Chains A and B, each alone.
Chain A
Amino acid sequence: MRRLTKDSLALILSAIVDVLFKFQIFLVAILIPMVFIQTDILVVRIGQLAEFTLILLILWNIRKIFRAFRRDTFYDISIIKTLRRLSVILVAYAFVNYGFMIMSDLNSSAASTDYRFVDLIYYYVKPIKFSLLFLASISYLLSFVVEEGCELKEENSLMV
Chain B
Amino acid sequence: MAIIVNLDVMLAKRKMRLNELSDRVGITLSNLSILKQGKAKAVRLSTLDSICKVLECQPGDILEYRDVAE
Contact with B along A144-160 (1 / 0, CB 8 A): 00000000000100111
Within the complex, what minimum Cβ distance (angstroms) separates A25 from chain B? 42
Q: A84–B25 Cα gap in the complex (Å)?
A: 44
Number of A-B contacts (CB under 8 A): 22
Nearest B residue (CB) for A155? B41
Within B1-55, the residues touching A (CB, 8 Å) are 27, 31-32, 34-35, 39-44, 47
Which residues does chain B contribute within 8 Å of A159, judged by CB atoms? 40-44
Chain A, residues 88-119, CB within 8 Å of chain B (1/0): the string is 00000000000000000000000000000000
Report, as a range, how many residues of chain A touch the other chain.
under 10
Quote the shortest CB–CB distance from B7 to chain A (angstroms). 10
Cβ–Cβ < 8 Å partners of B41 in chain A: 155, 158-159
Q: For B35, what are the chain A residues with a Cβ–Cβ distance below 8 Å?
A: 160
A36 to B32 alpha-carbon distance, docked (Å): 64
- A141–B32 Cα gap in the complex (Å)? 36
Beta-carbon nearest neighbor of A154 in chain B: B41
Q: How far is the CA of A65 from the CA of B34 in the complex (A)?
A: 30
Residues of B within 8 A of A160 (CB): 27, 31-32, 34-35, 40, 42-44, 47
Q: How far is the CB of B63 from chain A (nearest CB, A)?
A: 12
Shortest Cβ distance from A132 into chain B, in angstroms?
39
Per the bound structure, the CA–CA distance linking A155 and B34 in Å amounts to 12
Contact A158 B44 (CB under 8 A): no
Q: Which one of B27, B42, B47 contacts A158 once the chains associate, using CB atoms below 8 Å?
A: B42
Within the complex, the shortest CB–CB distance from B11 to chain A, in Å, comes to: 15
Tell me the bound Cα distance from A158 to B42 in angstroms: 7
**Selected A-B contacts with CB under 8 Å, 18 pairs:** A155-B41, A155-B42, A158-B34, A158-B39, A158-B41, A159-B40, A159-B41, A159-B42, A159-B43, A159-B44, A160-B27, A160-B31, A160-B32, A160-B34, A160-B35, A160-B42, A160-B44, A160-B47
Which 7 pairs between the two chains have the least Cβ-Cβ distance?
A158-B41, A159-B42, A160-B35, A160-B40, A160-B31, A155-B41, A160-B43
* Other 14 A-B pairs with CB < 8 A, given A158-B41, A159-B41, A160-B32: A155-B41, A155-B42, A158-B34, A158-B40, A159-B40, A159-B42, A159-B44, A160-B27, A160-B31, A160-B34, A160-B42, A160-B43, A160-B44, A160-B47
